[in-house]
Homo-oligomer: A and B are copies of this chain.
Amino acid sequence: MSLSEFDRDTAVTLREPGVYDADLSGGWAIGSALNGGYLLATMARALGDTMPHPHPFTVSTHYLTATAAGPATVRAETVRAGRTLSTGAASLFQTGPDGREVERIRVLATYGDLATLSEDVRTAAKPPEMPPYEHCLGSEHAPSGSSPAMADRLDMRLDPATVGWAVGAPSGKGEMRAWFGLADGRDPDPLSLLMTVDALPPTAFELGIGGWVPTVELTAHVRALPAPGPLRVALSTRNLAGGFLEEDAEVWDSADRLVAQSRQLARAVRG
């Protein structure tokens, strides 16, 4: 049985204690930049191997400089090992043009065991209202040649109410919604959720901001082991100001459980 694309491309190899090698894949690029969620998931895989607890509970990611496809080193350490929660830190490095290691991304994360959480669920939030999968729009509807490489890794269909940007008519509302899965059918898990929160087109597109909207920082909470099957992802932005915006993501699984939430601070380079 071969690995899914996501597992193959986020794989890390232990070189020595706390040091992992990764071969980052251009298959997860948006334009010339590798997707931030894909990079986070790769680092989180290394952390999960290092830490005494298996699952990311809350992960804070600061993106320093753009990461290229190709070799990378992830250094991961446990900062505190608790009984039910542990905290660790990880850094992703690549060799710069002068041969020196440059830190691209730093992560601070607290891990636990999602399988041990109580069954008491009092979530007040409701799943996003969206048309069924069959009435949402996949990348085959996008203008020819406009889809990023990463789109081929995904089975993603956008809510038609959030695709005005693709035809030059952005809604002006900071929203984006999609049905979400992996193209090769791999079911979601805590690591893939870290990629999922950063995988949709940005709300900035519906706010009329084209071009590059780089993530400065992203914090994701993984709140439950996701059920198999398709996810629904809803993004929202309420505070576009001063050249920056926050983008909140909610990920709902097929059992209507709110399995992940995130917020990122992004820079609107061109408004």
Using a CB–CB distance below 8 Å, which chain A residues touch chain B? 57-58, 60, 62, 64-65, 79-80, 82, 85, 87, 89, 103, 106-110, 114, 117-125, 173-174, 207, 216-217, 219, 221, 223-224, 237-244, 246, 257-258, 261, 263, 265, 271
User: Could you tell me if B239 and A120 are in contact, using CB atoms closer than 8 angstroms?
Assistant: no
Known contacts A57-B265, A60-B60, A103-B80; decide if A217 and B219 are in contact (CB<8 Å): yes
Shortest Cβ distance from residue A138 to the other chain B in the assembled complex, whole angstroms: 28
> Can you sample 20 A-B contacts with CB below 8 Å?
A57-B244, A62-B108, A62-B109, A79-B106, A87-B106, A106-B108, A108-B108, A110-B216, A119-B242, A121-B242, A123-B241, A124-B237, A124-B238, A124-B239, A125-B238, A221-B246, A221-B265, A223-B239, A223-B241, A223-B242
Q: How far is the CA of A82 from the CA of B239 in the complex (A)?
A: 24
Return A66 CB to nearest CB of chain B, in Å.
12
Say which residue of B110, B120, B263 sits within 8 Å of A242 (CB atoms). Answer: B120
Which B residue sits closest to A119, measured CB to CB? B242
Residues of B within 8 A of A79 (CB): 62, 64, 103, 106
Cα(A125)–Cα(B240), bound, Å:
9
CA distance A58 to B62 in the complex (A): 9
Report if A58-B216 is in contact (Cβ < 8 Å); known contacts: A121-B241, A239-B124.
yes
Instruction: Determine which residue in A57, A82, A239 has the highest number of CB atoms from chain B within 10 A of its CB, and name it.
Output: A239
Q: Is the CB of A110 within 8 A of B62?
A: yes
Closest CB-CB distance, A244 to chain B, in whole Å?
7
Find chain B residues with CB under 8 A from A120 CB.
Answer: 241-243, 271
- Most chain B CB within 10 A, of A109, A216, A258, is at A216
Task: Name the B residues within 8 Å of A242 (CB-CB).
Answer: 114, 117-121, 223-224
List B contacts of A122 (CB < 8 A).
207, 240-241
